[in-house]
Amino acid sequence: MRVTPPPTIYKVPSPEATLRRLFLTVFLRGQSARGLTKETAPKSLAAKLGWILFVYAALGLSALLMIGQPTLLLSIMLHSITFLALGMFVASSAGEALFNKEESEILMHRPVTSQMLLRAKSTVLVQISLYMAFAVNLVGLGIGITASDGGLLFPFVHLVSTVESALFCIGIVVLMYQLCLRWIGRERLEGVMTTMQVVVIVCITVGSQVLPRVMGMNRGVGQIDAGAWWLKLLPPTWFAALDDAVAGTRSSNSWMLACAGMVATGFILWLGFGKMASVYESGVQILGESNRTRPKQQNQIRLLRALSESALLRPFLRSSVAKASFQLVSAYMFRDRDTKLRLYPGIAPMMVMPVTMLAMNHGFGSSRASHAIESGMGGFFVAFSAAYLCIVPLSALNLIKFSQQYRAAEVFIAAPIVGPAPLLQGARVAVMFFLCVPMLIMLLAFVVIMEGPSSVWLILPGVIAMPAYALIPGIIGNATPLSNPMEEAKSMNNMPIMMLSTFGAMGIGGVATTASSMGFLAIFLIIETISSVALCCFLYSITKKATWRVYD
């Protein structure tokens, strides 16, 4: 008797699970393979994720400052850090994750709906955000047990409030995109979304610099007034209130705030992922449609051309290549979504930090300020602030060398140009003209208002040093504008150079202040000018000799 074997039962894969796995992989590896070890099998994603989480866990070590503090205070701090870390992460990665042009070419004709895509992407964002949130809060979970009014319940409730906080963060960003899609319309969508994204990231960056000082954290964390009315308007307080309501004071006030947080989170998730999910489909479809050049962009192009030919910039843009590079880099600085998302949030702290220091010097939220005024630190702050702005061209040029269209930069090598020098010159002028000059003018106005016109001279040492700083990117690797893939931006390690530059700025500020207090500022400025010119000539000669590096 022949026995018929049972039919083989295969496990049918779920498209939703496949999409989640795909987005997690692409998210961790990056959209492009350049910059990764592409010739060999991909490295472990777990190791990469582990490294990211380690950095976030280190950020959470600041909870050690809160040992023995009340639950609400500790929790506000933990949720603020979580909000900052996740807000930055989600705001900067959501645009790329949610609206990727190539991805719509690969997936939109497959049997998947836009809702499935949105759900899978959101799940991956939530998943990674939760990992990050737990890493940031890892130390805090233990510290919570030592809270003056806390107990063993803290770790459990804090885990819940952290999940709530992460969901709120992602919900807000997704909702922001949906609202843009609905209200702004197709034509202006990308520009407006990018601007909003830049504003959100800059606000988070600025907020993280300013808020601790406004809260008076530098007077000692224990001195924060957790009952301040304005604190109740900030989302981290709502989530902290849940911790306090369950594991801390258990006050009715905390319960009310905790409920407000839950309602707000629920409402935002319902709006973003339920009510407005269908709007996502039109957004994804827009990506595949060609953009028309708007009159505003044509005006911009004309203006950039006129600027590069103007008497003001002509001396710096002598060659046609430098002129073209100036126009290209400027256009990317104003128009390209990814460039804007990296550039402005990247340099925002450089403007905020000097302003904050000067403000602190006048007693804004700091008891150290009075000490600073008494010890004559005001001059140092002015000199240091201006010298610190020197880092702007260095940092901006390092950010502008990355682009999603890095392959297009091959046209530079194909063109009859010996090396990247004229391209770098154009990029330098664009950065100096559109970023450094406005920032210096703002600083000048601020110094005149805060310190008086007599302190304006102390800005000069920074201004004189700026061109030399702008030449540094040209001698430390391939800084050709827009010629490196985005993935390399994630792995770039500029920390030593940035630290050295900051120390250099402090040095310039210190020496200038000392020279000023001893009455030798004019002599110092002359010596600095000669040194700066010599250094610029030296650095420029190195840049000029550079030939094309072999592109990947």
Partner 1 sequence: MAVNDLSFEVPGGQILGFLGPNGAGKTTTLRMLTGMTSPTSGTATICGFDLLTQPLEVKRKIGFVPDSGAVFESLTGLEHLEMVAALYEIPQELARPRIEQFISFFDLSMDTLANKMLGAYSKGMRRKVVITAALLHNPPVVFFDEPLEGLDANASVGFKALIQSLAREGKAIIYSSHILDVVERVCDRVIIIDKGRSLVDGKPDELVAEHNSGTLERLFTQMTGGQELERRAETFAKTFLP
Q: Rule CB under 8 A: which residues touch partner 1?
A: 8, 10-15, 18-19, 21-22, 25-26, 29-34, 36, 38-42, 102-113, 282, 285, 288-289, 487
- Residue among 110 and 296 whose Cβ is closer to partner 1: 110
Question: Minimum distance between the CB of residue 284 and partner 1, rounded to whole angstroms?
Answer: 9
Q: Which residues of 111-148 are buried (b: 16+ CB within 10 A; e: fewer)?
A: eeebebbbbbbbbbbbebbbbbbbbbbbbbbebbeebe
- Residue among 309 and 410 whose Cβ is closer to partner 1: 410
How far apart, in Å, are the Cα atoms of 280 and each of 56, 104, 114, 273?
A: 31, 12, 7, 10
Question: Minimum distance between the CB of residue 11 and partner 1, rounded to whole angstroms?
Answer: 6
- Residue among 45 and 449 whose Cβ is closer to partner 1: 45
| Cβ neighbourhood burial of 453 (10 Å; 0-12, 13-18, 19+) | exposed
- Residue among 13 and 496 whose Cβ is closer to partner 1: 13
Contacts of 517 (CB under 8 A, 6+ apart): 376, 379
Question: Minimum distance between the CB of residue 21 and partner 1, rounded to whole angstroms?
Answer: 8
Question: Minimum distance between the CB of residue 156 and partner 1, rounded to whole angstroms?
Answer: 37
d(CA 147, CA 144): 5
Q: Which residues of 192-228 are buried (b: 16+ CB within 10 A; e: fewer)?
A: ebbebbbebbbebbbbbbbebbebbbeeebeebebee
- Residue among 116 and 228 whose Cβ is closer to partner 1: 116
Residue in the block written with tokens 């004189």? 464
Sign of CA dihedral 425, 431, 434, 439: negative
Residue in the block written with tokens 């840049």? 543
| Cβ neighbourhood burial of 34 (10 Å; 0-12, 13-18, 19+) | middle
- Residue 521: closest CA among 511, 533, 535, 536: 511
Question: Minimum distance between the CB of residue 417 and partner 1, rounded to whole angstroms?
Answer: 23
Three-class DSSP category at 42: coil
- Residue among 243 and 487 whose Cβ is closer to partner 1: 487
d(CA 477, CA 396): 15
- Residue among 17 and 542 whose Cβ is closer to partner 1: 17
Question: Minimum distance between the CB of residue 34 and partner 1, rounded to whole angstroms?
Answer: 6
Question: Minimum distance between the CB of residue 281 and partner 1, rounded to whole angstroms?
Answer: 8
Tokens representing residue 367 in the block: 């008891």
- Residue 180: closest CA among 244, 98, 59: 98
Question: Minimum distance between the CB of residue 36 and partner 1, rounded to whole angstroms?
Answer: 6
